[in-house]
Copies of this chain bind each other. A is one copy, B any other.
Amino acid sequence: MAERNIRLTLAYDGTDFYGWQVQQSGRTVQGVMQAALERMHGHAVRIVGAGRTDSGVHATGQVANFITDIGSIPPQRFREAVNSLLPRDIRVLASAEAGPRFHARRSARHRVYRYYLSCAPVLLPHMRNYCHWVRRVPDIRVLNGMASLLVGEHDFTAFSAEGDKNVSKVRTVSVSSFHAESGMLVYTIAANSFLWKMVRTIVGTFLELGEQGGGAEGLARVLESADRGTAGGTAPARGLFLERVVYDEETLENPGPAAGLSGDGVFPGAP
Contact = CB atoms under 8 A, between A and B. Distances in A.
Given A120-B261, A121-B261, A261-B121, A126 B184 contact: no
Contact of A88 (B79, B125, B267, B270): B125
Given A261-B120, A261-B121, A126 B91 contact: no
A182 to B, nearest CB: 3
A126 B92 contact: no
Contacts of A129: 126
Contacts of A170: none
A128 B267 contact: no
Contact of A183 (B12, B184, B269): B269
A50 B12 CA distance: 35
B269 A122 contact: no
B261 A124 contact: yes
A11 B124 CA distance: 6
A33 to B, nearest CB: 13
B79 A122 contact: yes
Interface in A63-103: 79, 83, 88-93
B125 A13 contact: yes
A237 interface: no
B266 A126 contact: yes
A121 B182 CA distance: 22
Contact of A60 (B121, B124, B260): B124
Contacts of A270: 269
Interface of A: 11-13, 58, 60, 79, 83, 88-93, 118, 120-130, 181-184, 260-261, 266-270
Given A11-B125, A90-B125, A124-B261, 10 more contacts: A60-B124, A88-B125, A91-B124, A93-B121, A122-B261, A124-B266, A124-B268, A182-B268, A267-B267, A267-B269
